[in-house]
């Protein structure tokens, strides 16, 4: 071989090695780039998935927060022993605020009328609550029943002493304005109520009778603190249309009386609107109930029962 030929061969060998190196470098860089691109795409996709999950996660966190607040921000009238009932009621009424849930369960509204009734507390006081959840025994007769003066009542109308005094003062004040407020049904015994409800049930059916008449033991009239009134001209069911009613709307609380079954509280009281039925609760309670536009049931559940705890 000539030296020139040898040289040429060496150069060719050198070029080949360089070419091989470039080729190798190219392959290396290409795979690296492809890997990087695919990785970025993958990451981007995953990010999207994470983003999609995020709001849901936030909602879940919020739900947990909401669930804990019924415990955390509990009002003073929250009852530990009603915990399970609050939760059950909340599940059935997710639209209600926690405060309303606690109030409603405290008012026993999670129960059916007359199901599992509770013996009435605070007997012989103006705090006593008698309704379709709280009852008086068949032998309960209030202390200190007294007959209202016939100037302001039909004959033989009895109320508990404080209520009787307050009612006479009220009727006397109304009379000064030429208004005639007359008691036409007051204390009624358990036995009387048995016959009354049976009569109504026979007449209108049990379901209808329950909307306006208490079953025996569940009538507020047995407390001697409730009075039905009329003006001696209109029948008592038309009391709403009289001047006497307007006066009662404005002044009854000043004497310790409340309109017991208002139009907008039917769900709480369990009774249809009765413009003629008033209940003695004392001046402070009557004023509080009127100013806050609440039922006696709500007052009992949030104020009277709460006094026990404080």
Which positions touch Zn ion (CB under 5 A)?
A: 228, 277
Residue number with CB closer to Zn ion (174 or 227): 227
Cβ-proximal residue to Zn ion, closest one? 277
Residue number with CB closer to Zn ion (228 or 298): 228
Question: Could you tell me which of 151, 41, 126 has the C-alpha nearest to residue 303?
Answer: 126
Residue number with CB closer to Zn ion (253 or 260): 260
CB of 179 to Zn ion, least distance (A): 20
Cα radius of gyration (the chain): 40
Residue number with CB closer to Zn ion (174 or 183): 183
CB of 186 to Zn ion, least distance (A): 9
Residue number with CB closer to Zn ion (228 or 244): 228
CB of 221 to Zn ion, least distance (A): 6
CB of 220 to Zn ion, least distance (A): 7
Residue number with CB closer to Zn ion (98 or 220): 220
| Strand partners for 277 | 228
CB of 203 to Zn ion, least distance (A): 17
Residue number with CB closer to Zn ion (220 or 298): 220
Question: Could you tell me which of 180, 250, 217 has the C-alpha nearest to residue 258?
Answer: 250
CB of 114 to Zn ion, least distance (A): 18
Q: Using CB atoms within 10 A of its CB, is residue 178 exposed (0-12), middle (13-18) or buried (19+)?
A: exposed
CB of 228 to Zn ion, least distance (A): 4
């Amino acid at each position: 071989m000539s030296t020139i030929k040898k040289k040429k061969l060496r150069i060719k060998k050198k070029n080949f090695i360089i070419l091989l190196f470039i080729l190798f470098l190219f392959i290396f860089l290409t795979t690296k780039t492809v890997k990087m691109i695919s990785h970025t795409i993958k990451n981007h996709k995953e990010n999207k998935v994470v983003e999609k999950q995020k709001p849901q996660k936030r909602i879940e966190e919020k739900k947990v927060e909401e669930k804990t607040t019924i415990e955390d921000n509990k009002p003073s009238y929250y009852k530990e022993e009603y915990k399970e009932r609050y939760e059950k009621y909340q599940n059935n009424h997710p639209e209600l605020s926690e405060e309303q849930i606690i109030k409603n369960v405290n008012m026993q509204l999670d129960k059916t009328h007359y199901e599992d009734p509770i013996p009435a507390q605070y007997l012989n006081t103006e705090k006593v609550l008698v309704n379709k959840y709280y009852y008086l025994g068949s032998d309960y007769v209030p202390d200190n029943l007294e007959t209202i003066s016939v100037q302001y009542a039909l004959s033989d109308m009895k109320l508990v002493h404080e209520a009787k005094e307050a009612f006479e003062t009220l009727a006397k004040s109304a009379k000064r304005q030429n208004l005639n407020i007359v008691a036409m049904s007051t204390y009624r015994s358990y036995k009387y109520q048995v016959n009354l409800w049976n009569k109504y049930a026979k007449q209108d059916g049990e379901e209808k009778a329950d909307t306006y008449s208490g079953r025996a033991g569940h009538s507020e009239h047995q407390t001697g603190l409730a009075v039905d009134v009329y003006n001696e001209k209109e029948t008592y069911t038309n009391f709403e249309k009289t001047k006497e009613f307007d006066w009662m709307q404005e002044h009854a609380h000043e004497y310790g009386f409340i309109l017991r079954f208002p139009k907008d509280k039917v769900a709480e009281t369990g009774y249809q609107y009765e413009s003629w039925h008033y209940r003695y609760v004392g001046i402070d309670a009557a004023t509080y109930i009127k100013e806050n536009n609440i039922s006696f049931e709500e007052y009992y559940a949030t104020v009277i029962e709460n006094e026990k705890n404080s």
